[in-house]
Structure 1
Amino acid sequence: MSTVKKDSDIVIISGGTATNSLVSMFQCVSSSLSFCMPISDNGGSTSEILRVLGGPAIGDIRSRITRLIPDEGFKRLLSHRLSEDPKEAKNEWTSIVEGDHQIWNGLDIQCKEMIRSFLIHVHMELLKKSRNPNTNFRFELASIGNLLLTGVRLFVGSLDSAIELLLRITRIDPNIQILPCLNTNYTYHISALLQNGDIITGQSQISHPSESITEADINDSTDYFQEADISISENPTIFPHHYNQLYSTHEDIPYQHPDLLISQLRFSKDVNSPLQSPINRIFYINQYGEEIHPRASSRTIKSLDNAEVIVYSIGSLMTSIIPILILKGMGYSIKNNSRAKKILLLNGNHDRETSGLTAYEFIQTIFNAALYSYGENLISTINYNDIITHLFYLETSEIKIDLEKIETLGIKCIKIPNDHNDAILDDIFLYDIIALQNNLQQII
C-alpha cells in the first residue's frame, strides 16, 4: 500500500502586512503552516481597543486570518473598516450590531447570528467603559475584524482559544495555525534603545509614528492627566515627554507610561524617515517603562521544536521579528532544533527601523535577539548557523549583501530574481514569487 508523504512543518515568524503578500506562496510550498505573530502593535484601530478595553494587540493576527479566509463574505466582513467621520462611523457600527448593515449580505444566517453575538458582546463592554468619558471608544476607522476577535477573546477568556474559534468559523484549513507569540489577556509594549541613548516607547511610535495629532487625540490624553490631578504643559502635543516620572494615583485610571498615552489611531505607514540614531536593541516594558522578560507561549515553542523549516519572513525586522525572538525560550528552541532549515528572507528595501543596515547586520540583529532570549541561562556555545542556515536575498536590492562575510558564518546565501512586474514601482524591490517558491521547495 502506498503512503502519502506528509508536507513539511513550516513555522513562519513574521508581522502582518509584508508577509501577507507571501501567504499564498507558503500555502503552495506546504499545507502544514504555523504563523508565529507578534502582539505588541499599538497603532491604528488597535490603539483604541488597547486604550479602552486593554488586552493583547491583535491587529497583525486579524490581518493574517483575513488573508487566509477562503470565503469572500467572511473576508469582506473581517477586513471592513468604519468611516473616517466619527458620527458616520458610530451610525455604521450600530447598523452592523443590529444586523441590518449590507456587510452581512451573502453570509449564512447561522454564521451571521453567531458572529453578531460576539460583536454585541464587545459592544456591551464598550458601553460599560463609556460611563467614564476618558474611556469613550472612538469608532472612526475601527476594524470590524479587530472588534470581532476582541469580542471572542473577551467571551472565551483566552487569546489562543479565540483565534482557534475564529479560524474554524471562517473555515480556514485546519492544518494552518496562527500562533500569538504570547498567549495572554494583557497588553505588552516594546521600547527601542537607540545607539545615542534615547528610548522610543511603543511599536507604532518606533515604526510608524503619527504624522499629526488631532484635537481628539489631545483631549483623550489631557483628560487622563486632569483626572489624575496632574498639571499639563501649555503645549499638549509634546506633554508626555515631560512626565516620565509621574505616577497616577487615581483609583479608576491605571497608570500608563506617558509616551503611550497619545493616540496612534491616525498613524501613517508612509512615514519612513530614518530614526535619529540606529536601534541598539528592542525590549519589552511594563506600564512604568521598566524592562521585563516574558516567556514565549508553549504552543509557539512546541511548533518550533517540531518544525522542519523555520522562516524569518520579510517585514519590519525590529518591530515584527525581534519582539518574537527576544521572548524567553525562543533562542533555546531554535538552536536545539538542529534538523530544521532556518531561512532569513531578507527585505529588498530599508525602512525607518533598519536604515543603513547591511545583510550581515540583519543577521547579527537576529542572532543577538536569540542570545538575549536565553537571559542568564546561556551555558553553551551558539553559532550563527544554529539560528540561521540560509539567507535568501534579491538579485537587485537596496540592502548591501556581504556574501563572503556571511558565508564565513556557515550560512548559505541564495540569490532570488526580482519581480519585474511593470505595476511595481522601480524603487520597491520584491521577490519573484515563482522563483522564491521553487527555491524554498528545493531546500525543503
Structure 2
Amino acid sequence: MPKITIFSGGTATNELTPIFTNLSNCNNTSYVIPISDNGGSTAEIIRVIGGPAIGDIRSRLTRLIPNHQEYIRELLSFRLSSDPSLAKQQWNSIVEGNSELWNSFNSSTKEIFRSFFVHLHVELLKRSRINLSTKRQFRYELANVGNLFLTGARLFIGSLDSAIELFCKLTDINSNIQVLPCINTNFTYHISALLQNGLIITGQSQISHPSEPQVENHPPPINKTRPPTPNDDLSRTNYFMDSDIQNVVINEVEMNKKLRNKKSLELINNLSVSDDSDGEESGNIPQYIHPELKKSQLHFNKSNDIEPLLSPIKRIFYISPYGEEICPTANSRVISTISNTDTLIYSIGSLMTSIVPILVLKGIGKAITTSKCKNKILLLNGCLDRETFGMTAYDFIKVIIESTEYSLKNQNGGNNIHIPWNQVITHLFYMKNPKIEINHDALYEKGIRLVEVDRADGGDFFDLGDLENKLSQIIS
C-alpha cells in the first residue's frame, strides 16, 4: 500500500482523516502539522508555560483516537467552561480525580493520565506567583484538556516528539499513523506576514483572526478579548507593525549584543515591553517578547465574515521574539518522511498560516524536489478566506512554489532558485462549480493536471465519497 504524507493545519483536515487512512489501508499515513498557532487555549499555555503551539497537533491526535477508546477521546477533547470560576473548578476536579470524565476509566489508566495533569498543575502554580503578580496566573477558561495533557507530558519527558508518541500509545492510535510537528522543539515559534503594501502582521492568530488593536490590561478581562474586526481602516492599521517600529526592535537587539555589563542589561530590560523578569523560572519564555505577541489571543473569532486584509500577503516568514526574521530547520523525521513518501498531499485549510509555515522551513524544499514521490496533490479550498481574498487557483499554487523556493534558497546560502511547478505539485483537486477561479490553460502549461470533485450538498466542502474515489484512482 502507498505511503501518504499530508501537510495540514488542525480543524479543516480533521474530516478527511478517514479518507487518508483508507487510502493507505492503515499502512503508512503521516501528518505534518505546524506549531506556530498562537490563538485559543494554546495562547495561554505559550504565555505562562512557553514551548511550541500544540493545539493543531492535539486536534489531529484526538481525531485519530479509535472508537473503542471513546471515553479517552471524550476526556482529551473536553474544553473547560468559559466562566473562569467554573473552569477552575472543572480543572481541579480533573486533577483530583473526581470529575465525571473519569467514570469510564479503570484505576490504573486513570492514574497514568492524572500523573501528567498533576505535573502540569504544579508547574502552573509555580509560574502563577499568586502573591506577587496577577500577570502570571494561568486563565483556565476555555482550556482544552488535551492541550493540557500534551503539555504536561512534554514538560515531564522533555521532548515534544516523545510526548506525541506517549499520547498515541495511551490512546491506542494505529502505530502506522504518524503525527509529526514540523519543528521538533521545546521553544515557541511565531510567524509574521509581509503584505504587499509593506505592512507587517506579527503572530498567526493576528493574521488569521485579529483581536482588538489595543487592550490595556494584560491579560485582559474575558469581555475585552476577540471582538469583531474594526470596520475603519485607521484602527485596523494598529494590528500591523510598520517599518519604523521594526527598526526600533532590531536596534534593541543590536544593543543587547554590544552591552555586557549589569547597567547595560538593566537598560535593555527597561527597553523591553515585558516587565516580567522571570529568569530561569519562566522556562522557555524569553525575557523580551515582541509587543504584538503579548496581546491575549485566548478568545478569537474564526467566522467567515471577518474582513480581508488591507493588502494581499506577499510572503510568510518565521520571527524571533524580537521580531527578526529567522529560518528554522524542519524536523528531521519530517524530512525523512517526505523523502520516502509515495504521495504528498497539501490539504485544505489555511494556506498562509498552515501550509506555508511548513514549506518555508530549511530542508522541506529539498525533500519535496528531490523526493521520488509520484503524486503531489493540492486539495483546493472550497472558498476564499481572510488570508487568500482575491486569489485564484493559480495564485494558490504560486504561493506554494515560492515558499518551496524560499526553503531551498535558505538552505543553499541565499542563491535564488527557480523550479518547475510540477516538481512541487502534480495535481490540483477542485470542487465542482468552484468559488475560486480555476486558470485551466495556465495550469496545464505548467504541467499540472486538474481533477474535478463533486461538492457536498449545502456547503463549501468536498463530497467525501467522490474525493476518496478520485484520490484512490491516482494514488493506486
Deviation at 1:249, TM superposition (A): 8.0
Distance 1:169 1:44 in 2: 25
Which residue in 1 is equivalent to 2:254? none
Matched, 1:288 2:322: yes
Q: Cα offset for 1:374? A: 1.1
Give TM-score scaled by structure 1 length: 0.90
- Cα distance between partner residues in 2 of 1:319 and 1:380: 23
Deviation at 1:340, TM superposition (A): 2.7
Q: Deviations over 1:341-371 (max 9, x none)?
A: 1000000100000001000000000000000
Q: Which amino acid aligns with 1:348?
A: G
Q: How does 1:6-45 map to 2 (within 5 A)?
A: 7-30=1-24, 31=26, 32-45=28-41
Shift of 1:25: 1.2
Alpha-carbon distance, 1:339 to partner: 3.6
Taking a change above 3 Å as real, the CA distance of residues 100 and 240 of structure 1, as seen in their structure-2 partners, is: farther
The reply to whether residue 252 of structure 1 matches residue 274 of structure 2 is: no
Q: Is there any run of 5+ residues in structure 2 with no aligned partner, and where? A: 222-234, 249-270, 280-286
1:266 maps to a residue whose letter is H
Q: Does 1:342 align with 2:366?
A: no
2:349 & 2:65 partners in 1: Cα distance?
A: 21
The CA deviation string for residues 213-267 of structure 1, in whole angstroms up to 9 with x for no partner, is 87765559xxxxxxxxxxxxxx9xx699697644258532711000011100011
Say if 1:267 and 1:349 are closer, same or farther in 2 by CA, change over 3 A.
Answer: same
Query: 1:32-431 to 2 correspondence within 5 Å?
Result: 32-70=28-66, 71-131=69-129, 132-210=133-211, 217=218, 219=220, 245=248, 246-248=271-273, 251-252=277-278, 254-270=287-303, 272-376=306-410, 377=412, 382-420=419-457, 424=458, 428-431=459-462
For the 8 Å contact 1:240–1:261, the answer to whether it is kept is: no
Identity of aligned residues (%): 54
- Amino acid paired to 1:434: G
Unaligned runs of 5+ in 1: 1-6, 221-234
Runs of 4+ that moved beyond 2 A? 210-220, 238-253, 378-381
Distance in 1 between residues matched to 2:75 and 2:220, nearest whole Å = 31
CA 1:99/1:240 → structure 2, altered by over 3 Å: closer, same or farther? farther
In the aligned structure 2, how far is the partner of 1:142 from the partner of 1:355? 31
Is this contact kept in 2: 1:325–1:331, CA < 8 A? yes
Structure 1 counterpart of 2:289, one-letter code? Q
Task: Read off the aligned partner of 1:290 and give its amino acid letter.
Answer: E
Specify the code of the residue in structure 1 equivalent to 2:196. Q
Q: Does the CA-based 8 Å contact 1:37-1:324 persist in structure 2?
A: yes
What is the TM-score with the length of structure 2 in the denominator?
0.84
RMSD: 2.1
1:211, 1:268 within 8 Å by CA — same for their partners in 2?
no
Does the 8 Å CA contact 1:396/1:429 hold for their aligned counterparts? no
Give the deviation of 1:60 after TM superposition.
0.1
For residues 207 and 429 of structure 2, what CA distance do their matches in structure 1 show? 26
User: For residues 212 and 450 of structure 2, what CA distance do their matches in structure 1 show?
Assistant: 38
Letter in 2 for 1:210: S
CA distance in 2, matches of 1:82, 1:121: 19
Deviation at 1:336, TM superposition (A): 0.4
Which digits, 9 at most, give the CA deviation of each residue in 1:276-303, with x for residues without a partner?
Answer: 1000000000000000010000000010
